[in-house]
Amino acid sequence: MSAILRLESLSKQFVKDDVGIVALRDLTLGIEEAGFVTVLGRSGCGKSTMLNLLAGLIPPSSGTVTYRGEPILRPRPEIGYLTQSDTLMPWRDVRRNIEMPMEIKGVPAPRRRERAAELVERVGLQGFERHYPRELSGGMRRRVSLARMLVGDPETLLLDEPFGALDAQLRTDLQAELLRLWEGSGQTVVFVTHDIEEALLLGDRVVVLGRLGRVVLDRKTDIPRPRAADEMRVDPGFVALHKEMTAALAEGARS
Amino acid sequence: MSSAPPDTAAPAAETVPIERTWWDRRGGTVTVALTRLALVAVLLSVWEWSAERWFDITFTSRPSAIWARLLEWHRDGVLWANTWVTLEEIVLGFVLGSAAGALAGFLLASAPRVYRVLDPFIMALYSIPKVALAPLFIVWFGIGTNMKVLLAAATVFFLVFLNTAAGVREVDRGLIDAVRLMGGTKRDIAMKVILPSSMTGMLTGLKVAVPYALIGAVIGELVASNRGLGYLINDAAANFDTAGVFATLVVLSVIAALLNLVVGLFDRWVGRWKPLEART
């Protein structure tokens, strides 16, 4: 197993007045290439901090994060990060938002336009190219964010509760879309969620984090793909896994 | 995951034709405009009628006299010559002050440490009544046009500066991080996030600053000049010509309305991405 992302006794604390608030303590984890790992944990267990560190947005207090053996010191274009909240530029329409990463890379305009059109189609937003983010529904904004992340062809995707704020039906749709976009792409995915079902439905491997990012459980799920949510819910194997995860989450909260 | 490929296309917005008459669409705007016209007509009639009956015409003049004075000035060229001088001062002062203010606000707010050091000094300068600077400006720049332009610019500068700086400092961290994630440099962040998002603050500054540009120019003219609308006011008042004073005020309010219109159009164009209810 070759780990593409490696977290080595990673700690992070934030300074507030005269105290350091510990968000993550001594987390060690390896993430293998082309896998779909879901990280499950309650709110405040350091999941988002972990992703911010993996993305290179913030420096660790101690420990290291390496990507293909190189330490991550700043954001890298090979790693795409979809944050919990929308960070679309409100003054750019859909097409120009999707073009933005290419603009920064210096891709010439005709090529940008072409690529953006491709991505718009892939996330199913044809006809909305000239709309501004505020004119779109929450689900559509997520699709735009997803398209913007994918336009840079990242090898690794970090997703932070990307569908948390959406209604159940829309979440199911977008989960399916994400799997469809990922399958066969060879991309590595780290998907953070607090929803057990989502974690099991999407991931090949589930890592349960307890307080301060302590790894409570780390296992492969071996649920065959393609997975159908309705059938999976009644599958005895799934029910057993669900129970195991619930217990792990409870244990993580205790200590 | 599901066996059938999911229907990925977002549903297009469903539209139904609504039959609206011209009045349904424009009625509200037309009513407001007509009411305004009626209000102006009533006020002017009351003024015209009550002058001489209730008030001493020497002090309050009357609309017909003001109109006659405007026509007279128009004929002998006094109106245009002086209006032109003042308009030039206002526009130059406004453009100069707001360009410098926007640039300084953008640069300084991007360097938070420097801003923290300078903040009290800036506020102290801002708090000086700009009228009090007029004598000093006369010493420095003489009593020509420059003095008025700079007086207007000094007032406009601070308003645009403070609002732009506030806009820069309120930029959403998430948007900056988004650009960092795309591999953007500091320059990309400045040009693609901070600049557009500080536009809202800058435009507030521009809107607030319009009347102050007028104040700066006219005060400058009142203090020392031999032409311009401020001079015209002074001259008319000295001759107890209230109709002349009011006629000049009419011209000034027309200039103010035009400037507001230009800034308003610019605001609409820059803020076209904003929800309608957030527009002013």
Q: Does B17 touch chain A (CB under 8 A)?
A: no
> pLDDT digit string (tens) for A179-234?
888 888 889 999 999 999 899 989 999 999 988 888 888 989 888 887 877 788 88
User: How far is A243 from A251, CA to CA, in rounded Å?
Assistant: 12
Q: Best residue in B8, B172, B191 to probe A by mutation, most A CBs within 10 Å?
A: B8
Judged against a pLDDT cut of 60, whether residue B95 lies above it is answered with: yes
Compute CA distances B243 → A14, B41, B52, B76, B226, whole Å: 69, 18, 14, 16, 20
Q: In what order do the strands lie in the sheet with A19-32?
A: A19-32, A3-16, A62-67, A70-71
Name the superfamily (CATH) of residues B70-278.
MetI-like (1.10.3720.10)
Q: Best residue in A89, A119, A150 to probe B by mutation, most B CBs within 10 Å?
A: A89
Token output for B182: 């795309």
Judged against a pLDDT cut of 90, whether residue B276 lies above it is answered with: no
Judged against a pLDDT cut of 70, whether residue B8 lies above it is answered with: no
> pLDDT digit string (tens) for A136-158?
888 899 989 999 998 988 999 99
Contact (CB, 8 A) for A185 and A122: no
- B29 confidence band (pLDDT: 50, 70, 90): confident
User: How far is A252 from A39, CA to CA, in rounded Å?
Assistant: 13
Q: What is the pLDDT of residue B3?
A: 37
Q: What is the mean pLDDT of residues B241-268?
A: 90
- A46 confidence band (pLDDT: 50, 70, 90): confident
- B40 confidence band (pLDDT: 50, 70, 90): very high
What are the contacts of A234-241 at 24+ separation with CB within 8 A?
A238/A200, A241/A200
- Judging contacts by C-beta atoms under 8 Å, the chain B residues touching residue A75 are 180-183
Place of tokens 């002058």: B51
Pairs of residues, one from chain A and one from chain B, whose beta carbons lie less than 8 Å apart: 88
- Judging contacts by C-beta atoms under 8 Å, the chain B residues touching residue A143 are 10
- Strand, coil or helix: B102: helix
CA distance A251 to chain B (A): 31
ipTM, 2 dp: 0.86
> pLDDT digit string (tens) for B144-171?
888 999 999 999 999 999 999 998 888 8
- B18 confidence band (pLDDT: 50, 70, 90): confident
- Judging contacts by C-beta atoms under 8 Å, the chain A residues touching residue B180 are 57, 74-75
Are B174 and A104 inside 8 Å of each other by CB? Answer: no
Domain positions in chain B: 70-278
> pLDDT digit string (tens) for B110-137?
888 898 999 999 999 999 988 888 889 8
Q: What is the pLDDT of residue B13?
A: 62
Q: What is the mean pLDDT of residues B67-92?
A: 91
Contact (CB, 8 A) for A146 and A81: no
Q: What is the mean pLDDT of residues A84-91?
A: 90
In chain B, the residue whose alpha carbon lies closest to the alpha carbon of A135 is: B275
Judged against a pLDDT cut of 80, whether residue B279 lies above it is answered with: no
| CB-nearest partner of A124 from B8, B177, B180 | B8
Domain positions in chain A: 88-153
Judged against a pLDDT cut of 60, whether residue B213 lies above it is answered with: yes
The pTM of the full predicted model, rounded to 2 decimals, is 0.78
- Judging contacts by C-beta atoms under 8 Å, the chain B residues touching residue A226 are 1-3
Q: What is the pLDDT of residue A233?
A: 81
Percent of chain B surpassing pLDDT 90: 41
| CB-nearest partner of B177 from A87, A105, A127 | A87
Q: What is the pLDDT of residue B278?
A: 54
Q: What is the pLDDT of residue A177?
A: 85
